[in-house]
A and B are shown apart, each in its own frame.
Chain A
Amino acid sequence: MNAADVWMLFIGLSFAAYIVLDGYDLGIGVLTLLQRDDRRRREMYELVARAWDGSESWIVLLAVALWGGLPLAYGIALPSLYVPLILMLVSLIWRGFSIEIIAQYRGWQRRWGLAFGIGSLVAAFCQGAAFGGLIAGVTVHGSTFAGGPFSFLHHGYAVLTGLGAIVLYLFAASAWVYDRTEGELQRWAARGGRVLTLLLAAATVACWALLQPAGTTRLDPGSAARLAVWVPGAVVLAGGLAHAYRSFGRHPDAGPVRGALAVYAGGLILVLGLMYPSVVPPSITVHAAASPTGSLTFLLIGVGLSMPAILAYNAYAYWAFRGKLTTTDEEVAGTSVDPAGRRVAAR
């Protein structure tokens, strides 16, 4: 273990934090497309509005952690994923702006709500596609990317992982909505959640099984060490799915969220076990890509000092907004409640 390995672990954790936190945001965006009822949609927008911006800080951290720590990987992987990443960025802008407009200005909820949903859907798909394009292997010549604009597709493998990401985020969103709401919306989330759990199980198996045939990455366990990582990863993942399936529709309401967290954890262990020591499969390893120790040490100190504070105030923000979200009928009819809880007639 040297500084580069520690850094790879940190990148893995930033990745996890991002997909856990923004995953449910994006998933809720897609869910709003499936929900017909304006009031329930509004509840979902509210769940996203107060958190999305904090969640997206993690993708920035992920990007710069990769750039500052593994500059070679950043300079190769990003150009190779140009098409899905640019589309992802444009959709992230689009949905971030839409949700702010919905939150601050009620008049145009329908139109901007649709924009928000579609933006979330495209962003989720592109993230999955970019991820698939990366793990299936990138053509490298020397220290630059040498493939074409669409070589990330790998005979459609990236489309599969794109759809997989949508299913994953929808699953996580259902779990979160189930925890955070009550009444009809909560029951709706439970019904959908169970179906999505099964879909996710199928998608996971498909993505794993098709990786080797589609791409240039070898799924060769190679050593007992690799199997020793894969087996627990798979067990945690499967356990999470089973737990989530059982808990949708039952008490405690946090059950599906716990299941989802286990799914993420298991998935992450599998992926790290699959990729390590390469960061841009198949050829670029974390040690070849790493910045010199001077940079990594500076980064590790900076991150180490600020992380406790970051976690503390993010936790405080979540705590301040804890509890169930409820809406009153008047609001949907065009009344809003002012901050002190008094009702105010709409103009």
Chain B
Amino acid sequence: MSQQTLVDLSQWQWAITAGFHIVFPSLTVGTSIFLVVCYAAFMRTGTEVYLRLFRLWRRIFAIGFGLGVVSGIVLTFEFGLNWGGFAHDVGPILGVIIGMEVVTGFFLEAGFLGLLIYGDGRISQRVMLFSACMVSLGTVASVTWILAANSWMQTPAGYTLVHGQFLPRDWVQVILNPSFGWRVAHMLVGVLVSAAFFVSGISAWYLVKGRHLDVGRRGLSIGIGAAAILVPVQMYLGDTVAVDAIAPYQAPKLEATEGNWTSTNTGWNLLLWPDQSAARNDWTVTVPWLGSAIAKDWSGRTPTPGLLQTPAPLRPMILPTFYGFRLMFFAAMAMLATAMAGVILRLRRRLDVTRWFHRCVLVLTPAGPLAIIAGWVLAETGRQPWLVYGRLPTADAVSPLDTWQVLTSLALLILVYALLLGTYIWYVARVVRQGPEDRPVPEPVRAPVAPVPRALGAGRRI
């Protein structure tokens, strides 16, 4: 089997493991902030429903976080396992950035996670709130550092190349590389949007079923409120990423995103099927005029640049890039419409009683993670054939492994991940169906006490 097969398999392995990993941060970062909000609200107002929300969401959070951790470990090792050349060439830069992520982000999360999840009855309310804050802070730090790493691969800066190895010249330029600022903002708001719809969707389920109405109403109200603010911001940030962070540096990515070959189309492609080797589309569904309008020419005469401008070996694949963007875009539209409808219903005081709205929100529960995976597929496949844009070709970075080694590990990982994802969804459904705890809220202690025997107070029989 050829070198190309090895590269393809290694790429699939990376794409699947990274796509699996990203699902969990995209839910846990925002959920951890939601936990902080609930607990702080409970401490301020003493209202019991906030503590019940906190307990319920903490159980959902715990397992997602665990999966985020273990799947992240796999990625860290894969840099060396599958991309040994890459590890060697970019280690002095990316290894260091991810090292900073570990010491500032991961340890912070992991250090306080145990207290957040199992600390009831052992730590005071203040320490509990503090732990929740530290866990969220750690997740936000992780997102920031990893985006610095990935943005450096998209728009490398501040380095010198010595014998094929990237050495840092100016750390400020490395970290604050040209695309970092807008991309990290887009990612952070993206994870918050995801969590907002995750919380709203599950809360809406309670309203649809007519159970635990207090918890459902409160969750829906917080979630939709956050979404109404964040989704428009996210769309603005996305547009800015395209215009300021991608267009000046990675023209082929945008050409592929718009799905044109020739530079003549003034419309906007809604759907298409490309034939990459023949350099044309088999068919397209196009909205006339819109392409020109997006380029801010309202007369409808400005065509969108096509991929033929880029030499064939440097062209990214249209299929994943194009549909990655379309999926993200349509998800954004659906979320926008729902959030706005929510605002109108809220103003008319009908948010809690409008059945069709609850159903819509329920359907959008997984929209956030889907949009995020789609956005990453766009960002990463659009970067091909480069690993470090314009400098390090992907094919040169792969480890000298036997093809069957990668094939076996890929099959094994897919199997295990499918099982875990299935069990995870089953578990969340189980916890949700079981609902928040109805028993009286125990009085939390105010100061550290002598050890209470149970570590797993949270674990209940279902």
A binding-site residues for B, Cβ under 8 Å: 45-47, 49-51, 53-54, 56-57, 59-61, 63-72, 74-79, 82-83, 85-86, 89-90, 92-94, 96-97, 99-107, 143-146, 148-149, 291-292, 294-295, 298-299, 302-303, 306-307, 310, 313-314, 316-317, 320-328, 331, 334, 336-342, 344, 346-347
Contacts and interface: CB of A to CB of B under 8 A. Distances in A.
Interface in B33-89: 59, 62-63, 65-67, 69-74, 76-77, 79-82, 84-89
B347 interface: no
Given A57-B107, A148-B402, A100 B66 contact: yes
A71 B349 CA distance: 60
Interface string B428-440: 0011000000010
Given A89-B73, A299-B96, A341-B121, A149 B405 contact: yes
Given A49-B456, A64-B102, A146-B400, A74 B95 contact: yes
Interface centre among B413, B442, B461 (most CB of A within 10 A): B461
Nearest to A79: B399
Given A101-B63, A106-B460, A302-B100, 14 more contacts: A63-B73, A71-B92, A76-B88, A82-B409, A93-B73, A96-B66, A104-B62, A144-B400, A295-B92, A298-B171, A310-B108, A317-B115, A334-B461, A339-B454
Contacts of B123: 320
Given A74-B87, A79-B84, A93-B416, A60 B399 contact: no
B461 A106 contact: yes
Given A291-B92, A346-B461, A100 B115 contact: no
Contacts of B454: 46, 331, 336-337, 339, 341
Given A50-B114, A75-B91, A317-B114, A295 B81 contact: no
Contact of A54 (B91, B110, B413): B110
A66 B98 CA distance: 11
A295 B93 contact: yes
A68 B98 contact: yes
A57 B110 contact: yes
B250 interface: no
A338 B70 contact: no
Given A90-B412, A93-B420, A336-B461, A79 B401 contact: yes
A328 B454 CA distance: 10
B442 A338 contact: yes
Interface stretch (B212-220, B275-283, B314-322, B444-452): B444-452
A156 B383 CA distance: 43
A125 B10 CA distance: 25
Contact of A46 (B66, B113, B455): B455
Interface in B98-130: 98-104, 106-108, 110-115, 117-123
B62 A337 contact: no
Nearest to A89: B74
Interface centre among A93, A102, A145, A327 (most CB of B within 10 A): A93
A321 B453 contact: no
Nearest to A64: B99
* B-side interface size class: 35 or more
A75 B76 contact: no
Nearest to B453: A326
A169 B56 CA distance: 36
Given A49-B456, A104-B63, A334-B461, A295 B168 contact: yes
Interchain residue pairs A-B with the least CB separation, the first 5:
A71-B91, A68-B95, A339-B120, A340-B442, A78-B80
Interface of B: 59, 62-63, 65-67, 69-74, 76-77, 79-82, 84-96, 98-104, 106-108, 110-115, 117-123, 134, 165, 167-169, 171, 399-402, 405, 409, 412-413, 416, 420, 423-424, 427, 430-431, 439, 442-445, 448, 450-462
Contacts of B169: 294
A343 to B, nearest CB: 10
Contacts of A338: 439, 442, 457
Nearest to A295: B92
Nearest to A46: B455
Given A97-B66, A106-B459, A143-B88, A67 B79 contact: yes
B95 A67 contact: yes
Contacts of B416: 90, 93-94
Interface centre among B65, B95, B430 (most CB of A within 10 A): B95
Nearest to B69: A53
A95 B120 CA distance: 25
Contacts of B458: 103-104, 339
Contacts of A339: 120-121, 442, 444, 452, 454, 457-458
A45 B70 CA distance: 18
Contacts of A85: 77, 81
A35 to B, nearest CB: 17
Contacts of B73: 56, 59-60, 63, 89, 92-93
Given A68-B91, A79-B399, A53 B81 contact: no
Nearest to A303: B103
A311 B273 CA distance: 55
Contacts of B115: 317, 320
Nearest to A294: B168
A100 B121 contact: no
B459 A64 contact: no
